[in-house]
Amino acid sequence: MDKSADGGIGVVGALVRAAFLVDAVYAEAAREHGLTPQQGQLLCVLMGRSYVMGELGGLLRLAKSSLTGLVDRSERNGLVRRESCEADARAVRVALTAEGAVLAERFHAETCRRIDGLPAGLSAAEREVLAGLLGRVVLDNEAPPVFGEPG
């Protein structure tokens, strides 16, 4: 947990500060697309497929009422649509509108581009090692797929 002997940073500090960095990049990219980070995240999740409110709440770790508001605002902005769920009349399915899909695509691509620039100082091999280790941390802790990658 402490700084390692070679003067570098410990895992904990590295993780926290990297998260801070990613958040800042994410927020800036969102802002330039007229989105809040939360709305951007919602769009990115919905890029893959549509979800029912309950599922979305789990993925984004939001209380029910918080999600209702987020979807309300996104719907008002024409990015998202509420559909009735075939399997359960109580549930509400949330999907991207055409406009939302376009914006999601643009926001996602640009954000990828910028996040990808963060480890610019690393060699290709180092980036792969980083991706591998961080990927294991993500999987081990079951971080939800809040940001699907292209492909």
Partner DNA sequence: AATCAGTAGTTCGTGTCGCGAATCATGACT
Partner DNA sequence: AGTCATGATTCGCGACACGAACTACTGATT
Q: Which is nearer to a copy of itself, 28 or 75 (CB)?
A: 28
58 binds a copy of itself (CB under 8 A): no
Of 18, 47, 52, 95, the one binding DNA (CB under 7 A) is: 52
Cα–Cα dist 151/1, whole Å: 36
CB of 85 to a copy of itself, least distance (A): 26
CB of 75 to a copy of itself, least distance (A): 23
Name the nearest CA neighbour of 100 among 77, 121, 79. Answer: 79
Beta bridge partners of 83: 93
Beta bridge partners of 52: 93
Query: Which residue type, as a one-letter code, is found at position 117?
Result: G
Query: Which residue type, as a one-letter code, is found at position 100?
Result: G
CB of 61 to a copy of itself, least distance (A): 6
144 binds a copy of itself (CB under 8 A): yes
Phi, psi of 111 (to 5 degrees): -65, -45
Tokens of 83: 């559909």
24 binds a copy of itself (CB under 8 A): yes
69 binds DNA (CB under 7 A): yes
Beta-sheet strand order (sheet of 51-52): 51-52, 92-96, 80-84
Q: Which residues contact 63 (CB under 8 A, 6 or more apart)?
A: 57
106 binds a copy of itself (CB under 8 A): no
Q: Which residue ranges make up the site for a copy of itself (CB under 8 A)? A: 1-4, 8-24, 26, 61, 111-113, 115-116, 118-122, 126-141, 143-151
Residue ranges that bind DNA, judged by CB under 7 A: 36-39, 52-54, 57, 61-73, 82, 85, 88-93
